Homo-oligomer: A and B are copies of this chain.
Amino acid sequence: MVNVAILGFGTVGSGVAEVLTTNGGLIDQRVADLVRLKYILDVRDFPDSPYKDCFVKDFSIIENDPQVDIVVETIGGATVALDFTTRALKAGKSVVSSNKELVATHGYDLLQLARANGVNYLFEASVGGGIPILRPLISCLAANELSQVTGILNGTTNYILTRMIKAGLTFDQALKEAQANGYAERDPSADVDGHDACRKICILAALSFGQHVYPDQVPTQGIRDITLADVAYADSCGYKIKLLGRCLRQPEGKVCAFVAPHLVPGDNPLSDVEDVFNAIAVTGNAIGDVMFYGRGAGKLPTASAVVADIIDIAKDLKKDRRNQWGPGSPDLVVSSDILSSRWYVRVNASLADARALFSDLQPLARGGAPAGEIAFLTREMHEPEVRQRLAGLDVQSLLRVL
C-alpha cells in the first residue's frame, strides 16, 4: 500500500483526489500496488466531501505518520508550502508539487534535500498543466543536447490575446471576459505581467541546461501594452502576437532567458495555439524541433500530471529520478540583447523619417490607422541597435519577431 497526503484542497488538490478515486483501478494496476489517499490538509471544513474522513488541519499528523509515502503539495506560494515541503522531505516522504513559484525559487535546494533524504521531488504539473513536458525533457529527449525552449506557458494571457485577435476585444475587455470565465484572477498581475510564464521558463531552463535560473534573473514583459492596432498590423503580415517564455543555451555554460510578447509567423505551429491552451517547442541537436500541446491549466488536466508523478514514485519509492540540476549563479543568465531578430515597430512618425533610420524596413498597413501612425518590420538586428535608432521618436510598440 502506498499512502498519499494532499496539502491544500483547492482546484488542483481536489482534482488530484478526484483522479485518484475515479481512476483508482487503473492506477493500482499500473503501480502494481494499492495507492490510497490517507490525508487531506486544509484549514477549512468540508463536512459534505466524500473525502471528509481524510481531512486534518495539523501538518504534523502527516509529517509524523510513517505510513505516508507521498505528499502532494498544491498549496501554492513559497511560504507555508516551502515549510511543509521541507519538513516532508526531511521526514523521508517524496513530494509531488504543482507549485511553479516554489520550484522556480527553491527548486535547487529542495531537489538537494530530496536526494539527501533518499526521496524524490517531482513537479510535472508546475509547467504546462497537464501537458507532459518535464518528464519528456528528462527521459525522451535524453539523447539530445537541447539548444532552446520556446513556450506559450500561460493560458490566461493566451486566452486574452486570442480574444483580441479573433473577436476584436481590447485588452481590458478581454481581461474582463477572462475573469468572468474563471480564466483570470481578480488580481491578474501574475498572469498578465508575465510572472507565471517567467517561473515556468525558469524551470524549463534549469531542466534543459542543468543550472538553477531564478525568476529575478529573467527579464519579464507582459501583455498589458498590446493594443488592437498591434494585433491588426501583425495580422496584416501573417503574424500573431503571443506571449512567449524563451530560454536558449549560450556559450560557456550561460543561459539566455526572457519572457516577452512576440510576433509569431503564421507557419510556426505556436501561432495556432489558441484560447487557454499551452504549447512548448523544444529544439535538440538530434531531434530537431518537437512540440508539446495541451491544456495548460484546469483542475483535471493539472491533476493528471500530479497523479502521473504519484504513479511514477509509487512504482518504486526509493528510485532516484535524476531530475536534479546544479546551483544557480548571479552571472548565469545573459541579456537577450545578444539575440538578433527582426522587430515590429509602431511609431508616430512619417514613413520617410522611419526609412531614414531603417533603410530596408518592411512597411505594414491597417484600416483606420490615425494620421501620423506608421508600423513596420525591421531586418534582423539586436535590441540595443533598434532602440538606439528609435531614440527620440514617439515609439508606441516595439516587439520582437520570433
Tell me if A37 is interfacial: C-beta within 8 Å of chain B.
no
Once A135-B139, A143-B304, A308-B141 are accepted as A-B contacts, the answer to whether A287 and B291 lie under 8 Å apart by CB is: no
Task: Report the Cα distance A232→B273, complex, angstroms.
Answer: 25
Tell me if A140 is interfacial: C-beta within 8 Å of chain B.
yes
The residue that A288 contacts in the complex, of B135, B267, B301, with Cβ under 8 A, is B301
Chain B residue, CB-CB nearest to A306 = B143
Tell me if A292 is interfacial: C-beta within 8 Å of chain B.
yes
Would you call B136 and A303 a contact (CB within 8 A)? no
Would you call A293 and B293 a contact (CB within 8 A)? yes
**How many positions in chain A have a CB within 8 Å of any CB in the partner chain?**
54
Would you call A140 and B144 a contact (CB within 8 A)? no
Once A30-B142, A143-B311, A311-B142 are accepted as A-B contacts, the answer to whether A300 and B287 lie under 8 Å apart by CB is: yes
Give chain B residues whose Cβ lies under 8 Å from the Cβ of A139.
Answer: 132, 135, 139, 308, 311-312
Chain B residue, CB-CB nearest to A266 = B272
Would you call A286 and B140 a contact (CB within 8 A)? no
Q: Chain copies in the assembly?
A: 2
Within 8 A of B (CB), among A23-42: 23, 26-27, 30, 32
Once A269-B293, A286-B300, A300-B288 are accepted as A-B contacts, the answer to whether A140 and B145 lie under 8 Å apart by CB is: no
The residue that A143 contacts in the complex, of B32, B273, B292, B308, with Cβ under 8 A, is B308
Would you call A142 and B291 a contact (CB within 8 A)? no
Q: Which of A131, A274, A287, A319 has the largest count of B CB atoms less than 10 A from its CB?
A: A287
Binding site for B on A (CB under 8 A): 15, 19, 22-23, 26-27, 30, 32, 124, 130-132, 135-136, 139-145, 267, 269, 272-274, 284-295, 298, 300-301, 303-308, 310-312, 315-316, 319, 322
Q: List 8 A-B contacts (CB under 8 A).
A: A124-B140, A132-B132, A132-B136, A139-B139, A140-B308, A288-B298, A290-B293, A291-B294
Task: Given A130-B287, A289-B294, output 18 extra A-B contacts at Cβ < 8 Å.
Answer: A15-B286, A23-B145, A23-B286, A27-B142, A27-B143, A30-B322, A130-B288, A132-B132, A139-B139, A140-B305, A141-B304, A143-B305, A144-B304, A287-B301, A290-B292, A290-B295, A291-B291, A315-B322
List 3 tightest A-B contacts by C-beta distance, closest first. Answer: A132-B140, A143-B307, A290-B294
